[in-house]
């Protein structure tokens, strides 16, 4: 039973870390990479679908993305979806190739993005701590029902704490690397 609680806690903490990676990928750095457009959805025959399901997204150079729709009639819809997204990008169209230049980040916008990244990291830390609280609660419930001894309870809580420390350290490393990416000019 204790092993099940540990496995569940570890999988939930891993999901929190993966969610942080996804959220940090949405924060753009000065460089172009296709995952910036992962959050953009396009109206495709009445339903909203991710951009990468209606077009090829490639990195042309360090500052430009190239979006090539699979259907010619999707060009204006894709262009509008990129413009209305909260990414602050202005695409330009040449034929059925949409170029998305990445604007240079000012010092002020870099600091704003770092602040946003820190908030995302803090949300991930809180999620990991909530998982720890839930796991410790489950362990205490087992002790209350006399299914485990106090020694087993202490050992299990120590193991959960080690897991928590490991995932919080991973979150801190992820945040640090994102901050370094944002501060590169």
Instruction: Indicate if the pLDDT at residue 30 is higher than 70.
Output: no
Q: Does the structural domain 1-27+106-183 have CATH classification 1.10.132.20?
A: yes
Q: If you count DSSP H runs as helices and E runs as strands, how many of each does the chain have, helices first?
A: 4, 6
What whole-number percentage of the chain has pLDDT above 90? 27
Instruction: Indicate if the pLDDT at residue 166 is higher than 90.
Output: yes
Residue 41 structure tokens:
């959805």
* pLDDT class of 28 with cuts at 50, 70, 90: low
Average pLDDT over the chain reads 86
Instruction: Indicate if the pLDDT at residue 185 is higher than 80.
Output: no
Fold agreement (1-27+106-183, 34-101): no
Q: How many CB atoms lie within 10 A of CB 3?
A: 9
Cβ-Cβ contacts under 8 Å for 110 (sequence gap 6 or more): 182, 183
> Could you say which of 1.10.10.10, 3.30.1360.40, 3.30.450.40, 3.40.50.300 is the CATH number of the domain covering 34-101?
3.30.1360.40
Q: What distance in Å separates the CA atoms of residue 58 and residue 29, rounded to the nearest whole number?
A: 16
Lowest-pLDDT choice from 30-39, 116-125, 126-135: 30-39
| Confidence (pLDDT) at 50 | 87
More confident residue, 29 or 132: 132
Q: What are the residue boundaries of the structural domains of the chain, listed by start?
A: 1-27+106-183, 34-101
Q: What is the pTM of this model?
A: 0.71
Instruction: Give the max Cα distance, the chain.
Output: 72
């Amino acid at each position: 039973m204790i092993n099940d609680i540990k496995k569940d806690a570890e999988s939930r903490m891993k999901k929190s870390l993966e969610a942080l990676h996804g959220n940090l990928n949405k924060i753009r750095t000065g460089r172009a990479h296709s995952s910036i457009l992962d959050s953009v959805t396009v109206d495709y025959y009445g339903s909203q679908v991710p951009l990468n399901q209606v077009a090829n997204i490639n990195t042309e150079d360090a500052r430009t993305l190239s979006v090539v729709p699979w259907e010619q009639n999707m060009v204006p819809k894709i262009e509008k979806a990129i413009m209305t997204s909260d990414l602050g990008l202005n695409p330009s169209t040449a034929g059925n190739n949409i170029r998305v230049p990445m604007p240079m980040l000012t010092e002020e916008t870099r600091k704003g993005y770092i602040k946003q990244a820190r908030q995302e990291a803090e949300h991930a830390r809180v999620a990991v701590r909530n998982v720890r609280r839930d796991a410790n609660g489950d362990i205490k419930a087992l002790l209350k029902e006399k299914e485990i001894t106090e020694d087993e309870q202490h050992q299990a809580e120590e193991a959960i704490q080690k897991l928590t420390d490991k995932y919080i350290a991973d979150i801190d490393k992820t945040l640090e690397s994102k901050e370094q990416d944002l501060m590169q000019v």
